[in-house]
Structure 1
């Protein structure tokens, strides 16, 4: 009877240890996933938010640069006519840089709203180029007043709209970046929970080991007394 009880007791402890082992493996898998999620959040923060935000800043710089070039050419009181070739070359350089930055931005991870705003920005940039070509065409005919009139009516509005589109994209960058931070914080808290569970399981295993050792000593003492008799 004692032997049967001992076997039953050992089977119970063995089953508990097996369950604890399974829980430890599951916790380890969840912890690895949590660490992977944290890493992905940080990588996305850098590649899809920090770098594109910097590109948006440079894109805005070049948009402002084009506006400055046009204003400098149209309202320079020291010149009678616009240096058409120089202006055309400088605008082409700025547009090449802008196209490169937009193409680079497209390669990053974009949410639905961000994709929509980027498409609108690309359309606006095309309209701005058309406006610039019109100004270049009028200035090539040495009609500075006509070129100025076009800039005042369409040019300033076009640049203002482009700036607003860039501001909207920057706002989305900030919002998505904050969401990534919240996700990483959640992953960190999950990792802490998993670590606490591992410590709790280690304590339970320790208690079970002590129980097994104690039970073995209890069984061994009566057996020794029986052998002495």
Structure 2
């Protein structure tokens, strides 16, 4: 009778151990998935946020350089004005901006970023068009005509373009903050998984002690039976 009871108890423990093993494997799977997601999140943060944010910074720097260049060149003494040198410098800055924008466009972009990037490209093309008009005015009418056109259109166009660039950088910051929150959530999930593993280890320890205790009880009962 006691032997049958012992076998029944051991079967219950075996089933429970099997369930614990299944839970352990599931937790392990969830941990691996969480680590993989965290790795992808960090890679995305570097490739799609940190590097592009740096590129946008250089785009902004070049845009400010163009604005400062016009402010400096168009308001210096007339005899120092060199339209060819201005055109050459603007060409280099515009090429650098175009290269950076193209590189930025290859990264992962959310819907807001795509829309804002499209607006920024339009603004850059408009600004370049006005710059060419200013250069043409300088060639035909001199620095005075170029200065009037810059004051009428150029300065405001540069301001709008820089504003669109700032908006894009703000979206970049928001997405980066969301990625950080997601990573923090994944870390907290791993902590929960670790706590479950510790709890399962404790349960397994208790079950092992139970199995050993049950075995000793059966052995003692069998010894008494043999003595009788």
Same fold, judged at TM 0.5 (above): yes
1:11-160 equivalences under 5 Å are: 11-77=11-77, 79-80=78-79, 82-160=81-159
Secondary structure at 1:18 match in 2: helix
Per-residue CA distance 1:149-198 (angstroms, 9 max, x = gap) = 11001101110001101110111111111111111110010000000000
TM-score, length basis structure 2: 0.96
TM-score, length basis structure 1: 0.95
Report the CA distance between 1:116 and its aligned residue.
0.4
Cα root mean square deviation, aligned = 1.3
- Mapped contact 2:3–2:218 kept (Cα < 8 A): no
> 1-side partners of 2:106 and 2:87: how far apart?
29
> 1-side partners of 2:141 and 2:81: how far apart?
7
> 2-side partners of 1:149 and 1:196: how far apart?
71
Secondary structure at 2:79 match in 1: coil
Question: Which one is further off, 2-11 or 97-106?
Answer: 2-11
Report the CA distance between 1:134 and its aligned residue.
0.5
Per-residue CA distance 1:62-110 (angstroms, 9 max, x = gap) = 0111112222221111x33631221111111001100011011111111
Secondary structure at 1:115 match in 2: helix
Question: Which one is further off, 57-66 or 6-15?
Answer: 6-15
Alignment match, 2:6: 6
Q: Which runs of 5+ in 2 are unaligned?
A: none
Report the CA distance between 1:42 and its aligned residue.
1.8
Report the CA distance between 1:225 and its aligned residue.
2.1
Q: Count residues in correspondence.
A: 228
> 2-side partners of 1:186 and 1:210: how far apart?
37
Report the CA distance between 1:142 and its aligned residue.
4.2
- Mapped contact 1:62–1:94 kept (Cα < 8 A): yes
Secondary structure at 1:80 match in 2: helix
> 2-side partners of 1:47 and 1:149: how far apart?
43
